Amino acid sequence: DSLSNKIAAGEVVERPASIVKELVENSIDAESTSIEIALEEAGLTSIRVTDNGKGMSQHDAVLAFERHATSKISNEHDLFRIKTLGFRGEALASIASVSKISLWTSDGETEGTTVQIDGGVVLEKSDAAFRKGTDMTIAQLFYNTPARLKYMKTIQTELGHTIDLVNRLALSHPNIAFKLSHHSQIILQTSGNGDQRRVLNDIYGMAVAKKMIPFSGENADFKVKGFITLPEMTRASKNYMTLIVNGRWVRSYAVNQAVLDGLHTYLPIGRYPIAVINVESDPFLTDVNVHPSKQHIRISKEGELLSIIKSAVREAVKQSII
């Protein structure tokens, strides 16, 4: 019902960036190779996400906004080997309850569909010619929850959160072409050619990207690969370390600390690097089901992983400074 959707919205939908995250993750789960995000007023007026993924059938296009209607988990076994970014089927219901949505989608097999939803209520659903893929606009965010709207910071702050998010999603998916724009000004554009270093280049510029040092290490359980700057080079804050586990961007204080430990074996403490750390492991060793935001991860044998990261970084830094 609409009240429980609004309550759930409080957990999943904190600010424009959290909506962009849910929409883009849906596009990624739909196997898109191109994802465009266009914002007006940092997303408070409008967030439009256009993809070339699987799209939805007419039936699924309305079902997608029902709570717990996920197409991604079909049995209990799936729940323990989550490959998709979404799996709770809560995001769209929550977002729909606090905004006005207009959706165009087609699975390329049946007739395309357009759906208009206001505050969770379906106003219109009709046939519409549309290519395969999905185009969703979230307008007037929090128009019916003014208390939440009041918590929004400045346009610059909200935009900053979204840019940061899209940077990290682009880094975790170098094989997807991303385009982020604000009032039709392009902020980030990646090629989708699969080269993570090129994405670093698109985000941080050539001067920084070409000086990033590759590192790698592995054991039977984990494979680690990444890039790091020597901290003298940049004025990065703590927030410039991006951890990607099995293709999913997650946060881990312990991993950041392991990177810093490896770095500071040879370099002075007090400066931070720009770094991207890719970890591959059996999904059984990782659990992202800890919090609805799916941003926190529980890693079995974490100690092993931390020591691989620390020594990989230490060796790479050592090679580059001798």
Q: How far is CA 165 from CA 3, 178, 180, in A?
A: 29, 12, 11
Where in 108-147 is the site for ligand ADP (CB under 6 A)? 134
310 closest CA partner among 236, 256, 259, 237 = 259
Q: How many residues does the chain have?
A: 322
Give the residue, chosen from 20, 37, 43, 86, that forms a contact with ligand ADP under the rule CB under 6 A: 86
CA 47 – CA 37 distance, rounded (Å): 7
Please, what sign has the CA dihedral across residues 280, 282, 285, 289? Answer: positive
Q: Which is nearer to ligand ADP, 71 or 311 (CB)?
A: 71
Regarding 244 and contact with ligand ADP (CB under 6 A), the answer is no
Rg, Å, the chain Cα set: 20
Instruction: Give me the residue label for tokens 């991006």.
Output: 242
Give the residue, chosen from 91, 169, 228, 276, that forms a contact with ligand ADP under the rule CB under 6 A: 91
Question: Which residue of 88, 125, 148, 225 would you call a contact of ligand ADP, by CB under 6 A?
Answer: 88
88 versus 223: smaller Cβ distance to ligand ADP: 88
Q: Which residues bind Mg ion (CB under 5 A)?
A: 26, 86, 91
Shortest spacing between CB 291 and Mg ion, in angstroms:
15
Nearest position to ligand ADP, beta carbon: 86
Size of the site for ligand ADP (CB under 6 A): 22
- Give every CB contact of residue 38 below 8 A, 6+ residues apart in sequence: 46, 47, 48, 50, 181, 182, 184
Residue 104 touching ligand ADP (CB under 6 A): no
Q: Any residues with CB less than 8 A from the CB of 319 and at least 6 apart, and which?
A: 213
Q: Which lies closer to ligand ADP via its Cβ, residue 27 or residue 137?
A: 27
306 binds ligand ADP (CB under 6 A): no
- What gap in Å lies between CA 221 and CA 33, rounded to an integer? 29
Minimal distance, residue 168 CB to ligand ADP, in Å:
18
Asked whether position 5 contacts ligand ADP by CB under 6 A, the answer is: no
CB of 199 to ligand ADP, least distance (A): 21
Q: Which helix (H) or strand (E) holds 118?
A: strand 113-118
What is the distance of C-alpha 310 from the center of its chain?
Answer: 25
The region of 54-62, 169-177, 196-204, 292-300 touching ligand ADP under the rule CB under 6 A is 54-62
Residues of this chain that bind ligand ADP (CB under 6 A): 22, 26-27, 30, 51, 53-56, 60, 64, 70-72, 86-92, 134
